[in-house]
Copies of this chain bind each other. A is one copy, B any other.
Amino acid sequence: MTQPDLPDVSGLSIGILGGTGDQGKGLARRFALAGHDVLIGSRNAERAREAAASLELTVRGDANAQVATEADVVIVAVPWDGHKATLESLASELAGKIVIDCVNPLGFDKQGAYALPVEEGSAAQQAAAVLPESRVVGAFHHVSAVLLLDPTVGEMELDVLVLGDDREATDIVRALAERIPGMRGVYGGRLRNAHQVEAFTANLISINRRYKAHAGLRITDV
């Protein structure tokens, strides 16, 4: 299913802001296993180094600003809470880079998860507003952290929807998704259509509860 028209991204280093959370750590693990130089970022450099060491791979950890400076491509995996402030503080380090936002603005109550309203429309659009000099792409919203971190799971069975207005950037991110076995990177529309992809994570959480699953998406006929 790998798509032959995609660029070679095997040499790109990947930084993960908020890489001490499960989602970020899980992505770090899979990209390191795929042979990438991976840097985990955190507000606290020491915590980042601990998270990196816990993976028992060649992943390194450092402060978010250092990771943003050093990595070729940067994934934003911070809690929604600190999303805007973190990105504002890193705007100069992230200038000119591809920034992949995988943050899902969700609330939780007794009935489960639901989508939070976002002034800019979506987390990805907020990132684009705060980082006008970066190439913001939305992707990796639906990847299960549990499966990413599970050593018995060799293949991630899902399509990664890649959203953005910059064709070259979305192609690079699609290619990055395909570095992880089982994943396919599928163009999913412009940034203005990112909200529903982020919000759909609430539905996947409902599905996981009902079916006791780690649900993902596949796009048929593509």
Contacts and interface: CB of A to CB of B under 8 A. Distances in A.
A221 B215 CA distance: 5
A112 B192 CA distance: 11
A202 B111 CA distance: 27
Given A115-B195, A196-B200, A200-B197, A219 B210 contact: no
**In terms of DSSP, what is the predominant structure of the interface of chain A?**
mixed
Interface string A112-145: 1111000000000000000000000000000000
Contacts of A206: 187-190, 193
A121 to B, nearest CB: 9
Interface residues of A, number: 37
A34 interface: no
Nearest to A214: B221
A207 interface: yes
A186 B207 contact: yes
A199 interface: yes
Copies of this protein chain in the complex: 2
Interface string A202-222: 110011001101111111111
B189 A202 contact: yes
A161 B196 CA distance: 14
A157 interface: yes
Contacts of A197: 196, 200, 203
A96 to B, nearest CB: 25
B219 A216 contact: yes
A188 B216 contact: no
Given A111-B192, A113-B193, 4 more contacts: A112-B190, A114-B192, A193-B206, A216-B221
**Which 8 pairs from chain A and chain B are nearest by CB?**
A189-B206, A196-B199, A196-B196, A218-B218, A216-B220, A213-B221, A189-B203, A211-B222
